[in-house]
Homo-oligomer: A and B are copies of this chain.
Amino acid sequence: MSEADRRVVVLVSGGPDGPRPRVHPADAPLLLADDLAAVRGDGCFETLLVVGGVPAKPERHLARLARSSAALGLTGPSDEQWRAGIALAAREWGPDSEAMLRLVLSRGPERGGAETAYITVAPVGAHARRARAEGIAVTTLSRGFPADLAEASPWMLLGSKTLSYAANMAALRHAAAGGFDDVVYLSAEGEVLEGPRSTVVVARGGELVSPPAEVGILEGTTLAALAEIAGAEGVPVRRERLLVTDLLAADAVWLLSSVTLAARVRRIDDVTLPPAEPPVDVAGMVDRAVGRA
């Protein structure tokens, strides 16, 4: 089996008296046909990087998973059980190559029964490695709703990382068909929101700026880790509403995510961004945050 085909699957059960996490054969089916993850996208997830066998910032991911599962009315395994599962999955994967580790929590089978919780591990894809090394071209797409919708309609789960990503995947296919690597979503008013799987951050003078969570976006774990390191080095990370023109006028723009890390934006639609070295070494700071440097 080639490295690109390797997979690890770990089953995590809920409840304080549940069995310990255990490895599940990656080629054996795991989910019933009516699992609500599959037939309704009804659950939540997290994706984190494993570097040298060590999962990066697991506590930030567990905290966000807990927020998502609370918003969905799910219980989920305890953090302790997730930690044991993550450790087992990372150990099974081994230290030799970077991996994407995904936590999945579903409402369970439609016929009734316990929630489904498991972990998958897979190699980091070529797309992510290329985006880190070469940067990306992005297209802007309007999500069509106003920036204050998340606060007006909490039931829409805009700040939760649910399994219902069909529109996000469609946006990425739409971008690829136009020759772009990724997407920046805009609100109906033209405010910068986020990428389908990333957080937007810009360098402006000596500071970093990223849109606030209240515009209906996911709170980025990589942004939070970056903010901690940058803050300690005297570079504030401010949360401020941004327009596309703010991206074009910035010293540099990145999409941040847990697996791709910092992808420098080289082009936005038809506009090539200035190629100058950024005033803040965001990529280096993110590498340190996840233990890559």
Contact = CB atoms under 8 A, between A and B. Distances in A.
Pick from A28, A71, A166 the residue with the most CB of B within 10 Å.
A166
Copies in the complex: 2
B166 A153 contact: no
A197 to B, nearest CB: 10
Q: Is the interface of A mostly helix, strand, loop or mixed?
A: mixed
Contacts of A149: 144
Interface string A10-45: 000000000000001011111111111111111101
A188 B156 CA distance: 14
Contacts of A33: 7, 9, 24, 26, 30-31, 104, 118, 120
A153 B33 CA distance: 32
A224 to B, nearest CB: 23
A40 B7 contact: no
Nearest to A104: B39
A146 interface: yes
Contacts of A83: none
A127 to B, nearest CB: 13
Q: Which of A24, A27, A110 has the most CB of B within 10 A?
A: A110
A171 B156 CA distance: 7
A167 B158 CA distance: 9
5 contacts: A26-B32, A29-B30, A41-B162, A144-B145, A164-B166
